[in-house]
């Protein structure tokens, strides 16, 4: 039960962070955010506005290359 709750929270945090980043894509500056997720390690969110494609890799790190 506890493991299921932790897995849900982990997935929720990933989705929440991705949505927040995509809302901030109008920002002309490169954004680097490190979020401590305790036992899940750090999520690193990197994106550059100048790139013309978006790539999302979900693992212990999240890398976003976005327009």
Question: Tens digits of per-residue pLDDT, 17-59?
Answer: 666 666 665 554 444 444 444 444 444 444 443 343 444 444 4
Is 10's pLDDT higher than 70? yes
Let me know: does 61 contact 14? Beta carbons within 8 Å: no
Is 62's pLDDT higher than 60? no
How crowded is the C-beta side of 18, counted as CA atoms within 13 Å?
17
**Which residue would you say has higher pLDDT here, 66 or 3?**
3
**Rounded to whole angstroms, how far apart are CA atoms 10 and 12?**
5
**Which residue would you say has higher pLDDT here, 16 or 33?**
16
pLDDT score for 23: 62
């Amino acid at each position: 039960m506890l493991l299921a709750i932790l897995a849900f929270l982990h997935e929720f945090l990933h989705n929440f962070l991705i949505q927040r980043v995509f809302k901030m894509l109008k920002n002309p500056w490169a954004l680097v955010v490190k979020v401590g997720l305790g036992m899940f390690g750090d999520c690193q969110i990197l994106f550059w506005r100048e790139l013309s494609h978006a790539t999302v890799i979900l693992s212990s790190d999240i890398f976003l290359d976005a327009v």
